[in-house]
Amino acid sequence: MTMSVWDELSQRITDLDTLSSIGGLLGWDQQVMMPSGSAGGRAQQREFIGRLYHEQATSTRLGELIEAVAALPHPTLEQQAAVRNLRRTYRRATCVPPKLASRMAQANASGVAAWVEAKKERQFRLFAESLQTNVDLARERAQAIDSSRHPYNVLLEDYDPGTTVEDLRRMFGALQEGLAEIRQQALARKGPSPFTEYCDPAKQLALHHDVMRAVGYDTTRGVLNESEHPFSCRVGSQDVRIATHVHAQDLLSGLAATMHELGHALYEQGLPEGQGGSAVYSATSTGMHESQSRLWENMIGRSRGFYQWLQPVFAQHFPDQAFDPENVYRSSNRITSGSIRIFAEEVSYNLHIILRFEIEVALLERRITVEEVPGEWARLSEQFLGVRPKDDAEGVLQDAHWAGGAFGYFPSYTLGNLYAASIFAQLRECYPDLDRHLEKGNFSIILNFLRERIHRQGHLFETPELLEKSVGHRDHVHDLLDYLRERYTTV
């Protein structure tokens, strides 16, 4: 009996998924468990799996199968989605000449090395040449994939297919004005002091375990570990692991990290398995993934109701320590000032992203030169955040993204916040007494809502269409500003 083209395509995608999860397992082990002496061997293993993956993902037969399924007389919804998604990824993998791919790999590696050195010396000029090379290569790659489109739109598809530079300009423009206003109002009010009680790290981890179970994380298909940088990672079918980082003197930031990664992991655990594998049943975009993490981290995890529920859980682990939910709520929703993105709260955070978006688009459009970047950074930082970075390390050198050649990645963070705000607004419309549910720890209504409307849909639809189907036609900018206004100007 011969296999149908759809069966054969599905089998190949399943094989690719298997390779990718093996890669995930190697990466997870490397960051969580691996002794330092194994680094060389591990690099070899990862390189080998990566090579196998690349060979299979660019094979001629895979291209033939995609087109054969596209030509089926009555394709199902799954088959149509698989063709749309795979044509894009296959084209991106095969259109870049091998010479360009290897030049990029080299430039990104030496870019990261130069960035580390430049950041240490706090001197942008030590990184300028690498940045120029990375920008040039990114343009070249975009050209190779599709020379008829704006290079930024081509690069954006690595992360957020379905969104364009025009969409971002429109949304970010409106957002920036509203954010600046909220920031001003919030800064004018006297903020509460931060929550800096000493909390034993081992007990904090035990608390995180309780929170994860209460929220609905399937611990038979995942674990929580510690690592230097928090992350989550799929290592097998629905086995999605979380690593967090706790700070003895800063309970809330460790908890936020766990809630963030939990949101990512719940999305991955909720993706169904079906024919077509990840060609159909994977996250729709980086922005959508980020919406899940930010919804749990911020909208839920920093809400009044959540802290009220948390109080007795906290008391079990820290019987001698004070935890006033209202105070904790206020301290975890305070406006920050400063020039570092990763320390920014939700309002300023988006301004940091808009700043980076403006600069990377200008670089790719060649409206500014690499030499002009630090000046432009300082100018926008002053305009958006009211602060000029002290030096290059606190300004243009603070993030590693451009060093590794990732252009078009930054917007995903704010897209995630925008989508999360609309999902949250819709959730509150369905459950007007949402805060009461949170107080009682009734998180299942939220998880079920997300499972049904987002997770189980996989990548059948592109993000904008999926959002329209799941939360209706909503104005994301309006929803985000509404949410932030309520949270930051009334605390």
Tell me how far apart the terminal alpha carbons of the chain are, to the nearest angstrom: 67
Rounded to the nearest 10°, the torsion over CA 418, 310, 256, 458 is: -50
Residue 431 C-beta-side C-alpha neighbours within 13 Å:
17
Size of the site for Zn ion (CB under 5 A): 1
Contact between 412 and Zn ion by CB under 5 A: the answer reads no
CA 185 to chain centre: 28
Q: How far is the CB of 215 from Zn ion (least distance, A)?
A: 16
66 C-beta neighbours (distance < 10 Å), count: 23
Least distance to Zn ion, CB of residue 263, Å: 8
For the bound state, the minimum distance from the C-beta of residue 301 to Zn ion, rounded and expressed in Å, comes to: 13
Shortest Cβ distance from residue 349 to Zn ion (Å)? Answer: 12
- Starting at the edge strand that comes first in sequence, how are the strands of the sheet with 239-244 ordered? 224-226, 239-244, 231-236
Nearer to Zn ion, 21 or 286 (CB): 286
Q: Which stretch binds Zn ion (CB under 5 A): 63-71, 223-231, 242-250, 289-297?
A: 289-297
Q: Is the dihedral of CA 272, 289, 168, 409 positive or negative?
A: negative
Please, which residue, 24 or 178, has the CB nearer to Zn ion?
A: 24
Closest distance between Zn ion and the C-beta of residue 293, in Å? 4
Q: Which stretch binds Zn ion (CB under 5 A): 69-77, 286-294, 332-340, 480-488?
A: 286-294
Q: Which of 293, 298, 350, 414 binds Zn ion (CB under 5 A)?
A: 293
Binding residues among 11-40 for Zn ion as defined by CB under 5 A: none
Nearest residue to 20 (alpha-carbon basis) of 263, 282, 285, 292 = 282
Q: What tokens were used for 128?
A: 């300028």
Query: Among the candidate windows 109-117, 184-192, 291-299, 421-429, which touches Zn ion by CB under 5 A?
Result: 291-299
Q: Which region among 67-75, 193-201, 287-295, 373-381 touches Zn ion (by CB under 5 A)?
A: 287-295
Q: Near Zn ion by CB under 5 A, which window of 68-76, 174-182, 288-296, 422-430? A: 288-296
Distance between CA atoms of residues 170 and 371, nearest Å: 28
Cα–Cα distance measured from residue 428 to residue 459, given in angstroms and rounded to the nearest whole number: 25
DSSP states along 6-66: HHHHHHHHHHHHHHHHHHHHHHHHHHHT--GGGHHHHHHHHHHHHHHHHHHHT-HHHHHHH
Nearer to Zn ion, 232 or 457 (CB): 232
Residue number, 141 or 289, with CB nearest to Zn ion: 289
Give me the least distance between CB of 157 and Zn ion, in Å please: 19
> Which residues from 347-376 bind Zn ion, rule CB under 5 A?
none
How many angstroms separate the CA atoms of 37 and 244, rounded? Answer: 23
Give phi and psi for 476, each to the nearest 5: -60, -40
- The residue (of 1 and 342) whose beta carbon lies closer to Zn ion is 342
Q: Nearest approach, Cβ of 274 to Zn ion (angstroms)? A: 25
Q: 12 or 455: whose CB is closer to Zn ion?
A: 455
The catalytically annotated residue of 78, 261, 345, 358 is 261
Residue 346 annotated in active site: no
Distances in whole angstroms, Cα of residue 372 to Cα of each of 128, 130, 175, 359: 10, 15, 25, 10
- Cα–Cα distance between 478 and 475 in angstroms, integer? 5
Query: Which pair of tokens denotes residue 354?
Result: 């808009």
Q: Are 265 and 240 in contact (CB under 8 A)?
A: yes
Choice between 79 and 293, CB closer to Zn ion: 293
Least separation, in Å, of the C-beta of 260 and Zn ion?
Answer: 6
Comparing every residue's Cβ against Zn ion, the nearest one is: 293
Q: State the burial class of residue 316 (Cβ atoms within 10 Å of its Cβ: 0-12, 13-18, 19+).
A: exposed
**Listed ranges 133-141, 195-203, 293-301, 315-323: which one lies at the site for Zn ion (CB under 5 A):** 293-301
x/- mask, Zn ion, residues 44-83, rule CB under 5 A, reads: ----------------------------------------
Residue closer to Zn ion, measured from CB, 293 or 350 = 293
Active site positions, annotated: 261
Residues that bind Zn ion in the complex, under the rule CB under 5 A: 293
